[in-house]
Structure 1
């Protein structure tokens, strides 16, 4: 069994300013304990009733989340943990497991409580350790929560950006191939020697068909039947291109339109004219698709900018609640689509702006909406309702899902730091704690009502701050 002296404790940075007689008192109240690698030091849920000073070795604190082990921290030589003066903790949130052979000085909590009255410097040192521990641990968990939220948003954004980006690449490549055909088509058109008086009516004819206001919406079967009919007509006129048939049907051409076109040009001109028309329509369609995909990317980038408020000050400013929620939904559109969620939005007209930090409020909407989507994940669908309205001197925001609900026995704990029912990798237990603190900082309130099939979070933010 090891022995320990006050000089040994003096080597621990946190205890260097504590008088030797107080350190000796601490040694006299405690006892030396040793642990082997793999040995459990304490279990989750055990009472927080000892103060432990690690003299040699190390151990890790872990918790079981969703059936997986999550490591919270590793403490080594010189660390002081367990009960500390004025700590409000009653139970241990995880279990302790020895990593390297460990020697510790363990002192009962009631003896450390006596030190508050007897030894000022010792108490001061231990309180300083506690405040550092709370600050560091909270900062770490908040960082984990932010990184987890960022990972979810990034995955959704990457998916949403990938589709239009891939469309641009694909259509740009097709457009290049289309443009390569222009010299050949020009030669064909030049060879038939159309007069300008013949070209203009054809252009007018094409535009009339493209701009028809009453184009029917075709089912897949109807579209396929029209394409087959179009292909038969083209083959009769020595044009073997199913791609052309698809393009003409997409734009709104019918066989009787081609009959009218045939009446306007000589028989030997039909094929070159149709090739010219098809190429013009294909080029126009590809450019339109590229324009639409580019617009989609631009909208997503704008949504990211609005969501993060990158170009705005961090201090409180007038914030449009509706705009913030819509930006958040755009960030999470991939998850909404993936989970087959039906959105029901009810935003009050002319809702006054709230004096707030926009980035903070977007964290609130992100956490509440993300939790609602996770709750409905097992439903193979669901309905997410979001509403805003004025309630006297407050703006009221309600976010409701039709998931399984929050069990009554844990409802009072959902805003506690580190409490989570999610599986490993899906949550750290800090999301609702962050939400609660942000709303308190804005002098608002948050309430939750839940029953099977309906969970509603109600946020109220004051208009006059």
Structure 2
């Protein structure tokens, strides 16, 4: 199984476990919410039952006060309590708290807002069971019967008594003693007991029901917690397995390849690469084995070349050593995630000069064989003189930059002139003369060709010219490879001391640009406007990460052809250096600007970015006591400005 598929499988299992854990967490939260809601319902139910009991006590208190004092204010309050309980008058806010105990005279009573709803209707709305509701209804029924007794007492205070139809139409002398006896007699207390008995039974029913519900939620909570604990154990096991797989399938093979790399960097080309596998690391080891063999063969061939190339071979060997050392550092470096995007481009940048060197060496061997074995004594003196001059004076290839069409036209004209001069094989010699590094005129070449052994002289001069050209090709290729390797070393160097270092900002940014050359050279123009600024004290590794992220974002924003402008300036009148990176890309939408530095926010397509880059950049700049901000317009591009203290 490939590492990619294996990691996808492990990742999927871990995600599924995390999702299950999340679902269990949500379920536990809902159970806890339901438990809280159950407690609130219980409290609300208790308040309603208590309001029934309290209203009965308030009615008793005020009617007793009325029959004792004869004060009609207490009769009025008695009637208001009945009206509120029956939904005939608005129920004041906070009525379930201490309310009527604060009303002792008319000045204490104030008009308060409320809604009309009888106590019976509110009991139905509270969701009581039929049995519970029947108990409260029974209590209210007994309370209403007690109200009838209290009404008889009130009317006796006014001299009104019931007729045969139960109406208070018979007028007599007010009988205060009769009213008091009704309010304090044994019948009144019996009625009160009949009210309180179903209320007490209601409390028992409510407690049994709510306790059962609470117990049910608690059992469900325990089940969820047990399930969560089991999932966590499985998740820990899965993560442990993931760690073992990564160690065995990735870390261990890479460490073996690192040891091989160190051996190769010490010129031990016989060290075997024994790791074999069908996964990506195994393919990397196979490719590395092939690369080692090819480089070994190349070094062997270069060591047997002409002594004039010995210094070049040493430089190339040193470049290869530096590249291996950089590779070993990159494997351990935290920048592996960034450099991973550039491996293909860097490999192309290195392979191009190596291919040029290999081709040049092949041409050198052919030219050396021809030149060293050629009998120069038979050549025209003019040809020998030109050849000697070319050996001592190295000029540029005069026709090296000609376009294909221009070269064909020039060759055709030259071949026609050679044919008119009766030169044999004019097309062949026109090709040779176009490639010879010399400023001789065509007439000079024709005069040599017309001499005895002149054609051999031109061949000899051509081979000398090819020797010079191949030497330059090798030198340029080595310089190019060395520049790339030097940039890689600077970029991947890690400061183990954890202390700041003084650097030149332009060098720090140029290193990143060289690394990104393979991405920048196709349709993207980089404009550098680097002013001379003071050395600044920074963490070089982390600052390189800033430029890498900003330049990479600029490249992706351009999506093809465009410009990236980088400016470095010293702020006048302040101890700050400003770096601005401007692109001509698509710009940032207005709704995205406030979230651009937030972790995990990205404007790229799914799979193209994590949304962490700019968040990390902001933290690095803040760590340097600097600041970063941007200006962007959709369709015109974006400019990121970084200010760093000197």
Give TM-score scaled by structure 2 length. Answer: 0.46
1:107-256, aligned counterparts within 5 Å?
Answer: 107-108=28-29, 146-184=335-373, 186-187=374-375, 189-190=376-377, 192=378, 201-203=385-387, 206=390, 211=395, 218-232=402-416, 236-239=422-425, 242=428, 245-251=430-436
Alpha-carbon distance in structure 2 between the residues aligned to 1:322 and 1:447: 20
SS of residue in 2 equivalent to 1:421: coil
Shift of 1:373: 0.6
Alpha-carbon distance in structure 2 between the residues aligned to 1:214 and 1:278: 14
- Kept after mapping to 1: 8 A contact 2:423/2:449: no
Say whether residues 1:439 and 2:621 are aligned partners. yes
Q: Which residue of 2 aligns with 1:29?
A: none
- Give the helix-richer structure, 1 or 2: 2
Alpha-carbon distance in structure 2 between the residues aligned to 1:252 and 1:287: 13
Shift of 1:411: 1.2
Q: Which residue of 1 aligns with 2:517?
A: 333
- Kept after mapping to 2: 8 A contact 1:145/1:428: no
Two-structure CA RMSD over aligned residues (Å): 4.1
Query: Which structure 2 segments of 5+ residues have no match?
Result: 1-7, 34-224, 240-331
Q: Count residues in correspondence.
A: 341
- Kept after mapping to 2: 8 A contact 1:237/1:271: no
Assess, with a 3 A threshold, how the Cα gap between structure 1 residues 208 and 170 changes in structure 2: closer, same or farther.
Answer: closer
Q: Which residue of 1 aligns with 2:525?
A: 342
Assess, with a 3 A threshold, how the Cα gap between structure 1 residues 455 and 269 changes in structure 2: closer, same or farther.
Answer: same
1:378-389, aligned counterparts within 5 Å?
Answer: 380-389=560-569
The correspondence for 1:418, drawn from 595, 600, 608, is 600
- Relative contact order higher in (CA < 8 Å, ≥ 6 apart): 1
Q: Which residue of 2 aligns with 1:281?
A: 465
Shift of 1:183: 5.0
Alpha-carbon distance in structure 2 between the residues aligned to 1:298 and 1:212: 22
Assess, with a 3 A threshold, how the Cα gap between structure 1 residues 454 and 110 changes in structure 2: closer, same or farther.
Answer: farther
Alpha-carbon distance in structure 1 between the residues aligned to 2:396 and 2:14: 71
SS of residue in 1 equivalent to 2:582: strand
SS of residue in 2 equivalent to 1:108: helix
Alpha-carbon distance in structure 1 between the residues aligned to 2:595 and 2:579: 22
Alpha-carbon distance in structure 2 between the residues aligned to 1:75 and 1:431: 23
Alpha-carbon distance in structure 2 between the residues aligned to 1:358 and 1:110: 53
Query: Which structure 1 segments of 5+ residues have no match?
Result: 1-61, 63-70, 82-95, 113-121, 137-142
Shift of 1:277: 0.1
Alpha-carbon distance in structure 1 between the residues aligned to 2:484 and 2:338: 18
Give TM-score scaled by structure 1 length. Answer: 0.63
Alpha-carbon distance in structure 2 between the residues aligned to 1:447 and 1:353: 22
Alpha-carbon distance in structure 1 between the residues aligned to 2:576 and 2:13: 42
Shift of 1:383: 1.1
